[in-house]
Amino acid sequence: MIIVTGGAGFIGSAIVWELNKRGEDDILIVDSLGKSDKWKNLCSLRFSDYIEKDVFLEKILHESFFDVSALIHMGACSSTTERDARYLITNNYEYTKHLANYAHRHDVRFIYASSAATYGDGSQGYSDDESSIERLRPLNMYGYSKHLFDLWAKRNGMLDHIVGLKYFNVFGPNEYHKGDMRSVMIKAYEQIQADGKIRLFKSYRKEYADGEQMRDFLYVKDAVKMTLFFLEHPEINGIFNAGTGVARTWNALAKAVFAALELEPQIEYIDMPETLRNRYQYFTQADISKLQRVGYTVSPTSLEEAVRDYVQNYLQPQKHLA
């Protein structure tokens, strides 16, 4: 059996979707459905059972699961604006420690979601070299909660047995329930549907023109392939970046959305909130050389192709992964 925590969420449900495509349905999904619409991500998936995350943790603590081959831990609070540090420590840090310890005791493959948010403002670069993670300074509590586990795993020798993935700017189908934490891509699509134009933040650095701020945009289907590569190769462990390795501008993203809709670009540049200006990242780009060195050779989907697939095959027909 494969356990996928956060299996009703964005990346988690996409992982289950890909496992189903590969003929795997002996899957236990763990999540906390609450009042959100993420349950809709489950409707077309095949899995053996579903369990709420609190019940699952109690069972893990009492060693109640058997015949588990892998535990893919995507479950966490992913809100970069969450301010409740106690909640993030409990939900993102302590919970992950419990699962990692369980997996280590029972020789279960453990793959977990770290985050590119651990890199902070990028002044220390974007290398996933584990020898340098102590130098990283996340900009928000979400990033710090992820960073704390990376540090704990390193200090306790866990990185020789588990895999952590630092996902960059992931977008794609099944993110619909995420509210304000949805990607700019889907928000751009909705802005075009509403009034025909996309709004991007102005730049407040002279070296970047408006809309020329850059991100490493990763299509969720590629994020899933990278994740499952480590399921297929249990001999490989450590922390790895999950990105394309190519930074693209917000303008390029906006133009790709218009192109997918066969419309002429209409972009408006708006003021960035004062509270964001000192914490805004102007450039992110995953260093994926380590991922490539361990044998991952699949070329990431181009931004234009990914946006076209997302818009035409999912957003316009209003479909989930199926």
Q: Return d(Cα 181, Cα 175) in angstroms, integer.
A: 9
Residue type, 5: T
User: What DSSP assignment string belongs to 216-269?
Assistant: -EEEHHHHHHHHHHHHH-TT--EEEEES-S--EEHHHHHHHHHHHTT----EEE
53 classed as catalytic:
no
Question: DSSP per residue over 95-115, as a string?
Answer: HHHHHHHHHHHTT-EEEEE--
CA atoms of 151 and 315, how far apart (whole Å): 38
The tally of CA atoms less than 13 A away on the side-chain side of residue 73 is 34
Please name the amino acid found at residue 293: R
194 phi and psi angles, rounded to 5 deg:
-80, -50
What is d(CA 27, CA 3) in angstroms, rounded to the nearest whole number? 6
Give catalytic status of residue 144 as yes or no. no
Query: DSSP alpha helices (H): ranges in 106-206?
Result: 141-155, 184-195
Catalytic residue, candidates 53, 178, 187, 290: 178
**Helix, strand or coil, per DSSP, at residue 18:** helix
Kindly name the residue from 142, 167, 189, 219 that is annotated as catalytic.
142
Q: What are the C-alpha distances in Å from 312 to residues 22, 24, 91, 258, 262?
A: 24, 28, 36, 11, 11
Q: Which residues are catalytic?
A: 142, 178
